[in-house]
């Protein structure tokens, strides 16, 4: 019997900074633990600002300093994502609300979470958008997402 992988979708505004970083960090953790056949990741944005773009170069550099590779192209969150993913992880409250507004029949709200709910060491409520800031902001987002991804992975493994 073949079981289908558990699927995670990370969502931010433009899908070029926070959500591809969360996806890259989680993929890194899954590779380290040899779990890539059990859990799959993707990322998306609630806006259409950057569709088709690679992850932001500053974000890519911050991730690379931690040994994490960012890949993929930006895409917009679509209603079909509710059916395709077991958990949808919003980077901030605005993205969270934007996602829930697309759930017209309120069938999937139990799949949508705030990413920082899984932090084990940080007390942030939201993953800050580093786009208009400097290098320290990008580095902090990587650190915060590493914490949240570790906690999320522990939670998913308990569930599956």
The active-site residue out of 42, 92, 129, 147 is: 129
Q: Specify the residue for token string 């709200």.
A: 109
Nearest to 18 by CA among 133, 153, 151, 158: 133
Assigned token pair, 40 = 């799959």
Measured in degrees and rounded to the nearest 5, phi and psi for residue 44 equal -155, 170
Assigned token pair, 132 = 């208009």
**Any catalytic annotation for residue 12?**
yes
Tell me the chain's radius of gyration from C-alpha atoms.
15
The active-site residue out of 18, 41, 75, 116 is: 18
Q: Specify the residue for token string 């992880």.
A: 89
The active-site residue out of 12, 41, 119, 149 is: 12
Nearest to 116 by CA among 84, 139, 93, 85: 93
Which are the catalytic amino acids? 12, 18, 129
């Amino acid at each position: 019997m073949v079981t289908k992988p558990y699927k995670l979708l990370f969502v931010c505004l433009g899908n070029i900074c926070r959500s591809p970083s969360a996806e890259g960090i989680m993929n890194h953790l899954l590779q380290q633990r040899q779990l890539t056949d059990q859990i799959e990741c993707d990322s998306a944005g609630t806006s259409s600002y950057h569709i088709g773009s690679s992850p932001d170069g500053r974000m890519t550099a911050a991730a690379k300093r931690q040994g994490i590779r960012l890949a993929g192209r930006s895409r917009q969150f679509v209603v079909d994502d509710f059916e395709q993913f077991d958990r949808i992880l919003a980077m901030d409250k605005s993205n969270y609300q934007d996602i829930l507004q697309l759930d017209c029949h309120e069938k999937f709200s139990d799949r949508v979470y705030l990413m920082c709910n899984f932090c084990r060491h940080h007390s942030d409520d939201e993953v800050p958008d580093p786009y208009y800031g400097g290098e320290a902001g990008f580095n902090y987002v990587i650190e915060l997402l590493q914490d949240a991804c570790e906690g999320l992975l522990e939670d998913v493994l308990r569930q599956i």
